[in-house]
Amino acid sequence: MHRHHSSRAYLRDLLELDFYTRLIILAITFMLSVVFGIYNFVIGKRDVFTWMSISLTIGTAIAIILIVVFRKIKNERQKQQYFRSTCFKIYQKPYQKEYHLPNYIDQISAFESIYNKFKCPLYFDVVLENQSFDHSDISIDLILFHNSGIYAIQVLSFDGPIKGDITERTWTPYFYLGLKKTLKVDQDLYHHWIKSNHLSNPIMQTDLYVKNIQKYLPTYPIKGITILKETMIDETFDAMNERLFSLKDFISYVQNQPSIYTESDLKNAQNKLEKNIIKY
């Protein structure tokens, strides 16, 4: 895997909208404080630096409070959206604070689309007994029981495409910079990123999903699938061994598969798996 070397160790932070938002708010607050200090100097206030220090302190405190309040409001809104979602109505899994993160938001959205299309048994955020974990990924995103097969589904949500060979353990992330430009992640940033978000080969990751499920369903073929967010799909993307799909393409793929299971087959598989799902 070819990587560039540079000192831009915080590049990803600079590409995050939240970071830009906080930076803009703090910059505006700082400028207002400076203007306030200059104004006091012009009108004859002697202790201008004291006023500027007070202004900066108050302005920074206000900015921090506003950021926290806006984030609380956003998270509460997403929490209420989850409770109104089909995912919650069907699966009844209690809300967790991690559900406001992009990957979980896209998992919930994918759940909505897949369930509404097929009306089939669909499980969300599943942890199995004696499950083998891979770094920070401690649950199976979605499990679909459809007459064309049982699908272990991973949902990925990044700002740009990820690329690598099917035999590579980790893949290289790219991030959008501007409209159509992409910037490859350099060596320093790659290691910084990987500490918090280990970027496993998604095909190997869903192979692990399949392995965990087949412990309890050894006679059932399981298909490992990764659904990629639209921003991860560029002009070089294609379905790799029928393992990587956009949400729309995955739904079309399932629709075109032949039926291999009866309703009783699927019910039997569900019952076996449910006995080994760790309850929340």
pLDDT digits (tens, 9 = 90+) for 60-99: 777 778 777 888 888 888 899 899 998 888 888 888 888 8
3-state secondary structure of 154: strand
Cβ neighbour number for residue 41 with a 10 Å cutoff: 15
The answer for residues whose C-beta is within 8 angstroms of residue 265's C-beta and 6 or more apart is: none
pLDDT at 122: 94
- Region 44-57: mean pLDDT is 65
pLDDT at 212: 92
Q: Name the pLDDT band for 170 (thresholds 50, 70, 90).
A: confident
Q: What is the largest CA-CA distance in the chain?
A: 86
Task: Dig out the tokens for 213 from the structure.
Answer: 């499920």
Strands 222-228 and 182-184 come out as unpaired
pLDDT at 48: 59
* pLDDT at residue 15 is higher than 50: no
Q: Convert 236-254 to b/e letters by CB count within 10 Å (16 or more is b).
A: eeeeeeebbbbbebbbebb
pLDDT at 66: 79
Q: Which helix (H) or strand (E) holds 72?
A: helix 48-84
**Any idea where the domains of the chain sit in the sequence?**
1-84, 96-274
3-state secondary structure of 163: strand
What is d(CA 127, CA 133) in angstroms, rounded to the nearest whole number? 10
CB distance 229 to 156 below 8 Å: yes
What is d(CA 113, CA 188) in angstroms, rounded to the nearest whole number? 38
**CB-based burial label for 138 (10 Å; 0-12, 13-18, 19+):** exposed
pLDDT at 1: 31
Cα–Cα–Cα angle for 201, 202, 208, nearest 5°?
Answer: 95
pTM, 2 dp: 0.71
Which amino acid is present at 219? T
- Helical H runs in 10-47? 11-14, 17-42
pLDDT in tens, 127-169: 888 877 665 567 899 999 999 999 999 998 877 777 777 787 7
Residue pointed to by tokens 């699938």: 225
3-state secondary structure of 46: coil
What is d(CA 26, CA 36) in angstroms, rounded to the nearest whole number? 15
Strands 172-176 and 182-184 come out as antiparallel
pLDDT at 21: 67
The answer for residues whose C-beta is within 8 angstroms of residue 44's C-beta and 6 or more apart is: none
Task: Dig out the tokens for 127 from the structure.
Answer: 């942890």
**CB-based burial label for 30 (10 Å; 0-12, 13-18, 19+):** middle
What is d(CA 233, CA 207) in angstroms, rounded to the nearest whole number? 21
pLDDT in tens, 182-209: 445 555 555 555 554 456 788 888 999 9
Cβ neighbour number for residue 163 with a 10 Å cutoff: 17
Mean pLDDT computed over every residue of the chain: 77
User: How many Cα atoms sit within 13 Å of 77 on the Cβ side?
Assistant: 6
Give the lowest-confidence range in 16-25, 125-134, 142-151, 219-228: 16-25
pLDDT at 4: 36
